C-alpha cells in the first residue's frame, strides 16, 4: 500500500514521468518565451538595485558610484533631525492615502458613466480629454490647475463671475497635486475598465430592460460584478 501511494505522489508521475531536461527539450519554445520577461525583469528591476547604496555614500558625479566616500547613515540622520522632517513625512503619507482614496474609484466611476453614453463622438472626445494628460508632466498639470483656479483671470472664477482665491489654504499643494494625479491617471485607468465592459453580453442589458431595470440597477447588477476582479487587481497593484 505504501509503495503504491508513493508511486502515485511521486514527482515523476505528477509531471508525466518525464525528467526536467526532457520537458524543456519538448517545450523549448515556451521556455524561450518565458526567458524574455525573466531577462527583462533582471535587467530593469534587479540590476539597478545596486544604486541603493547611493543613500550611504557622499556621491560625487566626478568620482562615480564606487569612488564616492562611504558615509553610512549620515543622510538619514540629517533627514530625521531636520525641522521639516515631520511635515515631509506627513505630506508623503497624506498624499499616498488621498491618492488611493480618490484615485482608485474615479476611473471606475468614469468608465461606468462612459459605458452608458450612446453618442459615440462625444464619448470619443471625452476619452481623449481624459487620456491626453497622461503624456504631460505632473508639474505642467499642477501649473494648469493653478491657472484654472487663479483668483485673477482663472477659468473657474471667470465662469462663476467671482474672484474667490482657491489657493489660500495650507493644504492647497496636496489638493493640486492629488487632482493632477487623478487627472493624469483617470484616462489611463478607464481603458482597462472600458475594455472589460465591452466584453459584457448585450443581451444582459436587453433582458434587464425588459424586466424593468433602471440604468442604475443595470450598472449595479451587470457592470459592477463584471469589473470586480479587475478592480481588486488594480487595487492590489496600487
pLDDT digits (tens, 9 = 90+) for 61-112: 888 888 888 898 999 999 999 999 998 898 889 888 888 888 888 889 888 9
Within-domain flag for 2: no
Give the domain-ending residue among 46, 61, 77.
77
The pTM of the whole model exceeds 0.85? no
- pLDDT higher than threshold 50 for residue 14: no
Residues 148 and 91 in one domain: yes
Residues 160 and 219 in one domain: yes
Give the domain-ending residue among 32, 48, 77.
77
Q: Which three cell numbers stand for residue 181?
A: 494625479
Residues 123 and 192 in one domain: yes
Within-domain flag for 4: no
Percent residues over pLDDT 90 in the chain: 9
Residues 111 and 151 in one domain: yes
Neighbouring C-beta atoms of residue 173, cutoff 10 Å: 13
Residues 136 and 68 in one domain: no
The residue segments making up the domain with residue 62 are: 10-77
Residues 148 and 208 in one domain: yes
Please report the pLDDT score of residue 198 as a whole number.
86
Percent residues over pLDDT 70 in the chain: 82
Within-domain flag for 1: no
Please report the pLDDT score of residue 8 as a whole number.
46
Within-domain flag for 52: yes
CB 114 within 8 A of CB 186: no
* Residues 191-208 as b or e (16 or more Cβ within 10 Å = b): ebbbebbeeeeeeebeeb
Q: Which three cell numbers stand for residue 169?
A: 489654504
pLDDT, tens digit, 9 for 90 and up, residues 159-218:
666 655 555 554 566 777 777 777 777 888 888 888 888 888 888 888 988 988 888 898
Q: Which three cell numbers stand for residue 1?
A: 500500500
Domain containing residue 96: CATH number:
1.10.3720.10
Give how far the C-alpha of residue 85 lies from the chain's centroid of Cα atoms, to the nearest Å.
27
Please report the pLDDT score of residue 42 as a whole number.
92
Residues 108 and 225 in one domain: yes
Give the domain-ending residue among 77, 98, 131.
77
Residues 73 and 103 in one domain: no
pLDDT, tens digit, 9 for 90 and up, residues 25-71:
888 888 888 898 899 999 998 888 888 888 899 888 888 888 888 89
Structural domain tally of the chain? Answer: 2
Amino acid at each position: 500500500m505504501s509503495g503504491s501511494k508513493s508511486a502515485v505522489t511521486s514527482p515523476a508521475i505528477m509531471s508525466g514521468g518525464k525528467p526536467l531536461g526532457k520537458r524543456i527539450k519538448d517545450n523549448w519554445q515556451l521556455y524561450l518565451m518565458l526567458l524574455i520577461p525573466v531577462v527583462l525583469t533582471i535587467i530593469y528591476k534587479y540590476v539597478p538595485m545596486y544604486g541603493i547604496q547611493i543613500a550611504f555614500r557622499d556621491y560625487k558625479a566626478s568620482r562615480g558610484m564606487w569612488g564616492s566616500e562611504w558615509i553610512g547613515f549620515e543622510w538619514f540622520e540629517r533627514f530625521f533631525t531636520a525641522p521639516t522632517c515631520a511635515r515631509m513625512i506627513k505630506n508623503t503619507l497624506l498624499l499616498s492615502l488621498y491618492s488611493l482614496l480618490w484615485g482608485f474609484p474615479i476611473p471606475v466611476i468614469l468608465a461606468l458613466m462612459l459605458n452608458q453614453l450612446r453618442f459615440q463622438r462625444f464619448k470619443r472626445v471625452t476619452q481623449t480629454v481624459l487620456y491626453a494628460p497622461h503624456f504631460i508632466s505632473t508639474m505642467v498639470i499642477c501649473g494648469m490647475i493653478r491657472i484654472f483656479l487663479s483668483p485673477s483671470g482663472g477659468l473657474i472664477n471667470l465662469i462663476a463671475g467671482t474672484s474667490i482665491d482657491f489657493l489660500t489654504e495650507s493644504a492647497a499643494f496636496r489638493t493640486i497635486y492629488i487632482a493632477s494625479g487623478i487627472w493624469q491617471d483617470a484616462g489611463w485607468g478607464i481603458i482597462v475598465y472600458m475594455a472589460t465592459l465591452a466584453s459584457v453580453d448585450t443581451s444582459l442589458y436587453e433582458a434587464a430592460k425588459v424586466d424593468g431595470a433602471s440604468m442604475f440597477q443595470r450598472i449595479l447588477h451587470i457592470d459592477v460584478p463584471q469589473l470586480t476582479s479587475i478592480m481588486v487587481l488594480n487595487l492590489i497593484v496600487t
